[in-house]
């Protein structure tokens, strides 16, 4: 997005003169929405960012939390929505590259990737082409740098046909004493390491800060080719530099390129810098302007003390990482850039780094009250048909087609693999029994109908997923994906999503330690995609041997449902795929129940009372039952009369309601009494709804009357085959 | 009707980075002394047998197929479509 006339006037005031073309380009890059957060910064202050485990909060390239004494997890989320819309393979791959480098900046070893993909209808040719390219781009890049993709979230919806959401996250571990937490000082040397700079990705952030053009194939300037080979060298060399204490500070050259990396660092530490642009290693001849704002991938800024410089460069040479000594930081507060002996820019760092924040106008769309009105008089469909339709829905069906393309085991840390548990579980190191759980979640339908509740529910679902594998949630990062912030009806969704995330995280006592914001997610006609709040969470497990997966384990175990079910079919998957309605009241977020139920589930897992756990979310109780059954290859026999359900009038409300804060548990056959005793001592609403069976079918009764019976084989082939069928 | 052998070559557009080619050039070709080789480009090649009334039609058909089925991405790739002996 080019600078507005008002912004140019402001720049004149800052400089006290006419800006040079180089200076204008620096301002355009840095003041883009993508780099400066000018429209979002004030609202992001609503998020709770502090907590006893937080080592590094928002502001750096990535945050860090202490998950065990002396062990830090560094994790972050990023979006590559716009690049992926024009070149899915490289767009998604460079997204992975960027998020991995963010993790490197604190000296951590990247151990896992997550991909949260909100994509178009697989029946649409362009959408399908995008899906395939995106998945291939992620898998090729992840596999080549040797970091497994262990978890994620997937959603298909027409609103994403031309503008998909590609949200990726990386998780790294590092001992707390090796965490790079130095302070750049005057005299420290600025080294740019990694790929030579080219013309690719020129002003890419500016590109990501405007709507897509009508013909996306004309956006070549903003596309970068991913280079996982160089990324791998950066991963290895930076970890070695960190372990030897040779580097004070590291920053990724991401959006805004060289300008953003230098200016933000200078501004954060009250410094200035002298840059000698002609010293930078280039791929082709570039003008000073191009050098300042190119977004060539796989480049990093290393800040090194003078007396350590030679030893640090030695390491870079050992790994064959190209580098240039670009300049030095000083105490002037000014960024001065020279090229061939000529000064091309002199800009105060602080003013360049932080444009004036804008509190954008915000207004709910006119049809909102229509959208959220309670739904009445639904016809009751044949239940077995409804179940089969739901289990085949691409939002529910097994995502094996996607994660089979990923290597999810490199590094030998993965304990719970994609598709087996509600979250992925990884060991801290291959020989450690301690582990972390990670998961990413969003529900674009919820947030498009009621952004506040929807975003709060994304946080809650992520929390439940972490709990379901037996981990204690430690921290979240977030990525609200919204439309055009200049349109009040779009900005309102962003505002409400941030408020929903902040509220729920605060209530749960889990901080949001970092994140990213993506705006301008709209098609060329100006329609925003379904606004989506993506949440990634990390939990801690003392013993990965005590984790729980969701597949049923035994025949004859009691099944208990934790939590009361309410008639909450609004905005549900059932309503959407069976009745074709995307509206209604989004299920009520229930933070205090989330906390109490999580405590209960964690105790049952720890005591070995619960042997399988699954959170009840998309598709409701029926889908939770089906998934546990399919994955364990064990049947179930359930009586819906036994389900604690307040105010439910119809059987579909019991089966498909998406009431929050619920878990479905398989209890060890001889421990039902213990489970109930603990529930009653903690005053938790639990229902013993049925039992696992050797008969391979999902059976639902209403007292003595059978109301639904589907053979497991049927469910399994629909669950496992539907997505592949659509994408093949 | 004849049968024609049509070759499609897909490569990154000039000016875009070609990491695989650069790695082959740097870590293989130059390392083993072939310093007279100045540049490498990597691409993908498809060879198709096409039934068509004439060679021009065979090439036209393949070009159309490449565009419609998005065999390449015009944003970053260039393609050459030609007849092979």
The CATH number linked to A695 is 3.90.650.10
Please name which of A625, A627, A607, A623 lies closest in space to residue A668, comparing C-alpha atoms.
A607
**Residue A202, Cβ neighbours under 10 Å: how many?**
22
Runs of H (alpha helix) within A334-441 = 349-353, 368-371, 383-392, 400-403
Reported as type and span, the H/E element at residue A131 is helix A125-145
Q: Say yes or no for a CB contact (<8 Å) between A225 and B74.
A: no
DSSP string, chain B: -EEEEEEEEEEEPTTS--HHHHHHIIIIIITTT-TT------EEEEEEEEEESSHHHHHHHHHHHHHHTTSS-TTTEEEEEEEE-
Chain A residues in contact with B19 (beta carbon < 8 A): 225-230
**Fold of domain B2-84:** Mth169; Chain: A , (3.30.1280)
Rg (CA), chain A: 26
Q: How many Å apart are CA A55 and CA A241, to the nearest integer?
A: 21
A683 assigned to some structural domain: yes
Reported as type and span, the H/E element at residue A686 is strand A686-693
Q: First-to-last CA distance in chain B?
A: 17
Q: Specify whether the CB–CB gap between A355 and A36 falls below 8 A.
A: yes
Please name which of A643, A267, A617, A281 lies closest in space to residue A457, comparing C-alpha atoms.
A617
Number of domains comprising chain A: 2
Minimal C-alpha gap between B7 and chain A (Å):
23
Chain B residues in contact with A283 (beta carbon < 8 A): 17
Tell me what ipTM this predicted complex has: 0.82
Q: How many Å apart are CA A525 and CA A506, to the nearest integer?
A: 37
A557 assigned to some structural domain: yes
Minimal C-alpha gap between A220 and chain B (Å):
6
- Confidence at residue A10, expressed as pLDDT on a 0 to 100 scale: 95
Q: Specify whether the CB–CB gap between A98 and A252 falls below 8 A.
A: yes
Q: What is the dihedral of CA A624, A629, A632, A634, to 10 degrees?
A: 150
For A415-436, letters b (16+ CB in 10 Å) and e give: bbbbbebbbbbbbbbeeeeebb
- Confidence at residue A206, expressed as pLDDT on a 0 to 100 scale: 58
To test the contact with chain B by mutation, choose from A87, A141, A215, A231 the residue with the greatest count of B C-beta atoms within 10 A, namely A87
Chain A residues in contact with B76 (beta carbon < 8 A): 87, 90, 220, 223, 225
> Which of A334, A353, A372 is where one domain is finished?
A353
Minimal C-alpha gap between B17 and chain A (Å):
6
To test the contact with chain B by mutation, choose from A84, A195, A224, A227 the residue with the greatest count of B C-beta atoms within 10 A, namely A227
- Confidence at residue A370, expressed as pLDDT on a 0 to 100 scale: 84
> Which of A286, A319, A353 is where one domain is finished?
A353
Catalytically active residues of A are 34, 80
Q: How many Å apart are CA A170 and CA A76, to the nearest integer?
A: 6
- Give every CB contact of residue A341 below 8 A, 6+ residues apart in sequence: none
A721 assigned to some structural domain: yes
Q: How many Å apart are CA A375 and CA A366, to the nearest integer?
A: 19
Q: Are strands A663-667 and A558-562 parallel, antiparallel or unpaired?
A: antiparallel
Q: Choose among B19, B23, B75: nearest Cβ to A220.
A: B75
Strands laid side by side in the B77-84 sheet? B43-52, B2-12, B77-84
Chain A residues in contact with B66 (beta carbon < 8 A): none
A455 assigned to some structural domain: no
Q: Choose among B15, B23, B76: nearest Cβ to A229.
A: B23
Q: Specify whether the CB–CB gap between A270 and A74 falls below 8 A.
A: no
A9 assigned to some structural domain: yes
Q: Say yes or no for a CB contact (<8 Å) between A226 and B19.
A: yes
Q: Specify whether the CB–CB gap between A82 and A520 falls below 8 A.
A: yes
Give every residue of chain A whose pLDDT is below 50, as ranges: 217
Minimal C-alpha gap between B61 and chain A (Å):
20
Distance of CA A673 to the CA centre of its chain: 39
Tell me the C-alpha to C-alpha distance, in Å, between residue A175 and each of A64, A109, A410, A482, B33: 11, 10, 21, 36, 43
- Confidence at residue A284, expressed as pLDDT on a 0 to 100 scale: 85
Domain residue limits, chain B: 2-84
- Domain containing A167 equals 5-34+46-353
Sequence length of chain B is: 85
- Confidence at residue A213, expressed as pLDDT on a 0 to 100 scale: 58
To test the contact with chain A by mutation, choose from B15, B16, B17, B79 the residue with the greatest count of A C-beta atoms within 10 A, namely B17
Q: Say yes or no for a CB contact (<8 Å) between B15 and A198.
A: yes
Chain A residues in contact with B74 (beta carbon < 8 A): 217
Find the largest Cα–Cα distance for chain B.
50
Q: Find, in chain A, the residue whose alpha carbon is nearest to that of B13.
A: A220
Q: Say yes or no for a CB contact (<8 Å) between A200 and B17.
A: yes
Please name which of A464, A465, A447 lies closest in space to residue A456, comparing C-alpha atoms.
A447
Q: What is the dihedral of CA A137, A140, A144, A145, to 10 degrees?
A: 40
- φ, ψ dihedrals at A408, nearest 5°: -110, 15
Q: Say yes or no for a CB contact (<8 Å) between B75 and A87.
A: yes
Q: Say yes or no for a CB contact (<8 Å) between A284 and B13.
A: no
A217 assigned to some structural domain: yes
Distance of CA A162 to the CA centre of its chain: 20
Q: Does B15 touch chain A (CB under 8 A)?
A: yes
Helix axes A257-268, A21-30, angle to 10 degrees: 70
Minimal C-alpha gap between A297 and chain B (Å):
10
Minimal C-alpha gap between A227 and chain B (Å):
5
Rg (CA), chain B: 16
To test the contact with chain B by mutation, choose from A84, A90, A322 the residue with the greatest count of B C-beta atoms within 10 A, namely A90
Reported as type and span, the H/E element at residue A481 is strand A472-481
- Confidence at residue A414, expressed as pLDDT on a 0 to 100 scale: 83
The beta strand positions in A208-289, using DSSP E, are 249-252, 272-276
A447 assigned to some structural domain: no
> Which of A353, A373, A401 is where one domain is finished?
A353
Q: How many Å apart are CA A255 and CA A1, to the nearest integer?
A: 13
- Confidence at residue A200, expressed as pLDDT on a 0 to 100 scale: 73
Give every residue of chain B whose pLDDT is below 70, as ranges: none
Runs of H (alpha helix) within A379-524 = 383-392, 400-403, 444-449, 451-468, 488-508
Sequence length of chain A is: 728
Q: Say yes or no for a CB contact (<8 Å) between B17 and A227.
A: yes
Minimal C-alpha gap between A225 and chain B (Å):
6
- Is the backbone of residue B70 left (phi > 0), alpha (psi -120 to 50) or beta? left
Please give the angle made by the CA atoms of A22, A25 and A30, to the nearest 5 degrees: 125
Strands laid side by side in the A249-252 sheet? A249-252, A299-304, A189-194, A323-330, A272-276, A334-339, A342-348
Q: Find, in chain A, the residue whose alpha carbon is nearest to that of B18.
A: A225
- Is the backbone of residue A132 left (phi > 0), alpha (psi -120 to 50) or beta? alpha
Q: Choose among B15, B17, B76: nearest Cβ to A87.
A: B76
Q: Choose among B18, B23, B76: nearest Cβ to A223.
A: B76
Q: Does B70 touch chain A (CB under 8 A)?
A: yes
Q: Say yes or no for a CB contact (<8 Å) between A195 and B17.
A: yes
């Amino acid at each position: 997005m080019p600078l507005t006339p008002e912004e140019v006037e402001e720049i004149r005031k800052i400089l006290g003169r006419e800006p040079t073309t180089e200076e204008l380009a620096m301002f355009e890059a840095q003041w883009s929405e993508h780099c400066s957060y000018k429209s979002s910064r004030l609202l992001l202050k609503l998020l709770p960012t502090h907590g006893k485990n937080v080592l590094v909060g928002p502001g750096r390239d990535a945050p860090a939390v202490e998950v065990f004494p002396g062990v830090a997890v560094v994790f972050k989320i990023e979006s590559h929505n716009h690049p992926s819309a024009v070149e899915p393979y490289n767009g998604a791959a460079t997204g992975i590259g960027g998020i991995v480098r963010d993790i490197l900046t604190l000296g951590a070893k990247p151990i896992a990737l997550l991909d949260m993909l909100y994509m178009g209808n697989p029946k649409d040719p362009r959408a399908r082409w995008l899906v395939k390219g995106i998945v291939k781009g992620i898998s090729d890049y992840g596999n080549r740098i040797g970091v497994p993709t262990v978890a994620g979230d997937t959603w298909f919806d027409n609103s994403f046909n031309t503008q998909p959401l590609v949200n990726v996250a990386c998780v790294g571990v590092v001992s707390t004493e090796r965490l790079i937490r130095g302070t750049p000082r005057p005299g420290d040397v600025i080294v740019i390491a990694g790929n030579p700079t080219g013309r690719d990705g020129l002003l890419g952030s500016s590109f990501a800060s405007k709507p897509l053009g009508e013909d996306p194939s004309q956006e070549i300037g903003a596309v970068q080719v991913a280079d996982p080979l160089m990324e791998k060298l950066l991963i290895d060399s930076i970890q070695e530099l960190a372990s030897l204490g040779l580097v004070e500070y590291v920053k990724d050259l991401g959006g805004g390129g060289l300008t953003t990396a230098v200016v933000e660092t200078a501004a954060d530490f009250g410094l200035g810098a002298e840059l000698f642009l002609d010293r930078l290693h280039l791929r082709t001849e570039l003008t000073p302007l191009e050098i300042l704002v190119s977004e060539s991938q796989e480049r990093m800024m290393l800040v090194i003390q003078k007396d350590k410089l030679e030893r640090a460069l030695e390491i870079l040479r050992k790994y064959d990482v190209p580098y240039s000594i670009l300049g030095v930081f000083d105490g002037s507060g000014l960024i001065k850039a020279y090229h061939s002996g000529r000064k091309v820019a002199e800009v105060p760092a602080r003013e360049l780094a932080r444009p004036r924040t804008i509190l954008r106008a915000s207004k709910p769309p006119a049809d909102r009250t229509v959208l959220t009105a309670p739904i009445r008089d639904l016809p009751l469909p044949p239940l077995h048909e409804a179940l089969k339709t739901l289990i085949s829905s691409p939002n529910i069906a097994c995502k094996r087609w996607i994660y089979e393309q990923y290597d999810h085991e490199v590094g030998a840390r993965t304990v719970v693999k994609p598709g087996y548990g509600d979250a992925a579980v990884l060991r801290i190191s291959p020989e450690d029994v301690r582990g972390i759980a990670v998961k990413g979640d969003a529900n674009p339908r919820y947030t498009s109908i009621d952004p506040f509740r929807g975003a709060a529910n994304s946080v809650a679902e992520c929390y439940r997923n972490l709990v379901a594998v037996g981990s204690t949630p430690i921290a979240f990062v977030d990525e609200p994906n919204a439309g055009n912030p200049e349109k009040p009806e779009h900005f309102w969704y962003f505002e409400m999503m941030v408020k929903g995330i902040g509220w729920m995280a605060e209530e749960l006592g889990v901080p949001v330690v970092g994140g990213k914001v993506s705006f301008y997610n709209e098609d060329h006609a100006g329609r925003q995609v379904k606004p989506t709040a993506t949440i990634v969470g990390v939990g801690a497990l003392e013993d990965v041997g005590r984790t729980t997966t969701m597949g049923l384990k035994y025949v004859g175990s009691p099944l208990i449902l934790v939590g009361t079910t309410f008639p909450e079919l609004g905005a549900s998957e059932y309503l959407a795929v069976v009745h074709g309605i995307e509206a209604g009241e989004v299920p009520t977020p229930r933070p205090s129940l989330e906390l109490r139920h999580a405590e209960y589930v964690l105790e049952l897992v720890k005591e070995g009372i619960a042997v399988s756990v699954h959170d009840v979310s998309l598709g409701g109780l029926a889908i939770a039952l089906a998934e546990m059954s399919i994955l364990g290859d064990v049947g179930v026999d359930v009586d819906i009369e036994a389900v604690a359900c307040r105010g439910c009038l119809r059987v579909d409300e019991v089966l498909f309601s998406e009431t929050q804060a619920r878990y479905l548990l398989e209890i060890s056959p001889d421990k039902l009494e213990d489970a109930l005793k603990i529930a009653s001592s903690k005053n938790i609403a639990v229902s013993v709804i049925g039992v696992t069976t050797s008969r391979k079918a999902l059976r639902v009764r209403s007292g003595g009357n059978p109301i639904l019976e589907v053979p497991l084989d049927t469910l399994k082939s629909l669950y496992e085959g539907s997505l592949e069928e659509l994408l093949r | 009707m004849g049968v024609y052998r049509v070759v499609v070559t897909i490569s990154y557009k000039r000016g875009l980075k070609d990491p695989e080619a650069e790695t082959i050039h740097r870590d293989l070709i130059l390392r083993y002394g072939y310093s007279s080789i100045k540049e490498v480009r990597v691409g993908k090649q498809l060879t198709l047998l096409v039934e068509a009334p004439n060679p021009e039609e065979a090439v036209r058909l393949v070009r159309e197929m490449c565009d419609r089925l998005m065999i390449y991405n015009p944003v970053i790739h260039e393609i050459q479509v030609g007849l092979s002996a």
